[in-house]
Chains A and B, each alone.
Chain A
Amino acid sequence: MTSITSVKNLRLKFPGESEMLFKDMSLSINRGEKVLLLGTSGCGKSTLLQVLSGLVPQTIDIPIKFDEIQIPDQWGFVFQDPDTQFCMPYVDEELAFVLENLQVPREEMSSKICSLLKEVGLELDNIHTPIQHLSGGMKQRLAIASVLALKPDVIFLDEPTAFIDEKGTEQIWETVKRIWKDKTLIIVEHKIEKIMDFADRLIVFTPGGEILADGNTSMVFTQYKEKIKEYGIWYPGAWDEYKFKRLAENKFEYQNTLKLQDFKGYRIKEIKIWADDMEVQSGEWITIIGENGAGKSSLLLAFMQLIKTSGNYFINDLLVKKIKDISGLVYLVFQNPEYQFLTHSVYDEITYGLQNQQNIEADAKEILSSLKLTSKINQHPYHLSVGQKRRLSVATAFLQKPTVLLLDEPTFGQDSINTFRILEWIEQERQKGTIILMVTHDQHITERFATRLWKVQNGKIVADRQLNNSCKVQKEMLNELII
């Protein structure tokens, strides 16, 4: 076996950080290997991909040092965010951009574009389709097509499915497995279920950027399981091992209700979401599922009165007509936490608008310590890591003590420890009597935590099921609904 990409004694330090990310790290990858890199967020997996492809330091200016480096001649890179991979507005123009860079003659371009799209299974009626009209999964397959045009030997995939729903994820991996069977693949991915069988080598990093384990997948997962678990890295069966026992229901601190009668939400006069008569009580945890664009987020915005609504919507028998009616009663946690930050420090953020309340300081400190954010109390929210930002944004919601808590993918992109912790807090809120409505793609959450499920399809709530966590039939029913 010959190595196709390798680095010897890599040292790397981000400007402004005190700790070195990699310290004399060596790694060699052989031709044809399918390597999966695992590690907590911020451990340097993505940076390593950029080093091995030569993007660092050529394009991204980070000071690095190494004794030897071998960069593959022909490589391609699929990035995480489907919205920042393209520089042209149309599908054909984007692929043409790559072909232009390779100096492919103009006459050959159209036929090449068609065959590339066909290969990744992106069948469009017209190749001159705006990229904006594609779904996330389709965008990522377009990115794969443009990498395919480069005829790479080594392909770097940096969490290509992070922003993609279940169905899109499947399509992406199906495509990758089909077209790059005999290429070298280096993959960073959190959602490992779909590619476990595909990867033949697994490298696990410690949070400090050292290699903890390196070997074939099953060996690593059996021998290093305890460590992997401790770091909070997702591993197969993490959900099965997680013991969540719902406490016997005692009396709720507050008794709340939410009632809907022929409730509709509009965007530019078009009905975006529609619910018949519904009633929700304290103690309910509803997960809202549905495809991307089905109207799940519109439903949350309608509850928050951020889009125009019609019909009746009651909270504790109060008829809600505008956003002022629900201030302090309903709270929505957005998917991107940065959007909601208003102040310059973590403490101010968490107590924003509540400074006059009694015991606020103690409450804030308590929640910050359980969130492991106490040491960051004076930091600017923007300087936190992605996981910390998400925890902070959920925590701000808890201090508001809302009657109805709306959450849009609150565990998205989180490691296992944080995911379980956030879910446990939400469970605590539920036990106090807060009504929980949560949009999520994660079937495990629905199976384990939810008491009720809504499925949204084409803007309508088409299914409304009570869930019972002990019921065995439930899993089958869930599968049926999700498909």
Chain B
Amino acid sequence: MNSLFSGKYTWLHSINPSLKLLTIVGLFGFAINIHYLNFMLGFSCVILTLFIFGTGYSYKQLLLLSLPFLLVFLSTSSSMILFGKGETILFKWAYVQISEESLIRGIHLGFRALSFAMLGLIFALTTKPVRLFYSLMQQLKLPPKFAYSFMAAIRLIPIMVEEYQIIMNAQKIRGFEQKNNFLKRMQRIAIPLLSQSIRRAYRIAISMEAKRFQSNRKRTYYYEIGFSRNDLFFLCYFLVLLGLAYLLSIQYPLLPNTDVRSLSD
């Protein structure tokens, strides 16, 4: 587990987390509004380059991490390609019919899904939760109440995973597994797991207040998170390369350049 998620520290790690978050959300929105296949392709390449060379993880790690998303790519695009409607039929067999329109739309959709996944991974792989919440408090004025609650909750996740294992074992001993189906077993595990978690969350909240945590009071910060030249570089990377990708997609289209919206349904 740990080896899968441990990589080198790169310039992407040093980007202000709030800026990174906003940029990536912005890019999500932007990607939804790309309707030309060639530009979508260019967009994906820009993201892919950053994903492979910027995150500081080895190729093997990146490949493993993106496996589930490749599956998403294949399933979204293939279902669109195989079953989408269209007039220019290229191939037909039983319920499967591939038309030019569905092919274009499928590829377009697949790349969109893939870009989303990679953007999400870039963010997740290069952002420490603690830094993110400190930045959100400092730059975006998130109330400390929420920020520290989230940080405390993240601390609980590994404890819960361990506890899940213990409860599974404890119930196996009582011969519960052999007699019941999966759903019933999950139900029996969920109750002690939840009861423990609620108790823990409650205790953490009390101990936080015992340490004089007050949400309305001014506070100082252990990590001061500001901006650096890397942040400018980060923004320019997208502006310049996406601009370039746009120009290239118009000048030298690799694929037929149609607006996917104009394709009839």
Contacts and interface: CB of A to CB of B under 8 A. Distances in A.
A47 to B, nearest CB: 12
Contacts of B208: 87
Interface stretch (A92-100, A167-175, A460-468): A92-100
A339 B171 contact: yes
Interface in A78-102: 79, 81, 83-90, 92-93, 96-102
A304 B203 CA distance: 33
Interface in B182-225: 188, 192, 195-196, 200, 203-214, 217-222, 224
A87 B220 contact: no
Given A99-B220, A150-B211, A79 B167 contact: no
B260 interface: no
Nearest to B222: A96
B26 interface: no
Interface string A98-133: 111111111001000000000000000000000110
Contact of B207 (A77, A93, A132, A323): A77
A340 B192 CA distance: 9
B176 interface: yes
A342 B221 CA distance: 46
Interface in B139-172: 148, 151-152, 154-155, 158-159, 166-167, 169-172
Contacts of A84: 200, 203-204, 207
B155 A87 contact: yes
A76 B130 contact: no
Given A100-B222, A101-B219, A338-B196, A76 B170 contact: no
Top 7 A-B pairs, shortest CB-CB distance: A96-B222, A87-B152, A84-B203, A339-B170, A77-B210, A101-B212, A340-B170
A352 interface: yes
A299 to B, nearest CB: 14
Contacts, number: 127
Interface in A12-71: 53, 55, 58-60
Range for the number of chain B residues in contact with chain A:
35 or more
A87 B151 contact: yes
Nearest to B206: A59
Contacts of A196: none
Contacts of A99: 220, 222
A150 B212 contact: yes
B174 interface: yes
Given A84-B204, A106-B222, A89 B130 contact: yes
Which of B159, B188, B203, B211 is the most central at the interface, judged by chain A CB atoms within 10 Å of its CB? B211
A60 B199 CA distance: 13
B210 A55 contact: yes
A150 to B, nearest CB: 7
Nearest to B1: A268
B192 A341 contact: yes
A411 interface: no
Contacts of B206: 55, 59-60, 79
Interface in A298-349: 301, 304, 306, 323-324, 327, 331-332, 334, 336, 338-342
Contacts of A396: 174
A75 to B, nearest CB: 8
Nearest to A94: B211
B175 interface: yes
B173 interface: yes
A289 B222 CA distance: 42
Contacts of B169: 301, 304, 306, 334
Given A81-B203, A88-B155, A106-B222, 5 more contacts: A93-B222, A339-B170, A340-B170, A340-B171, A353-B175
A93 B152 CA distance: 12
Contacts of A353: 174-175, 179
Contacts of A85: 203-204, 207
A339 B175 contact: no
A81 B188 CA distance: 25
Nearest to A301: B169
Contacts of B155: 86-89, 131
A388 interface: no
A382 interface: yes
Interface string B106-130: 0000000000000000000000001
Contacts of B195: 338, 382
A146 interface: yes
B262 to A, nearest CB: 51
Contacts of B219: 100-101, 103
Nearest to B153: A87
A182 to B, nearest CB: 22
A132 B158 contact: yes
Contacts of B172: 306, 323
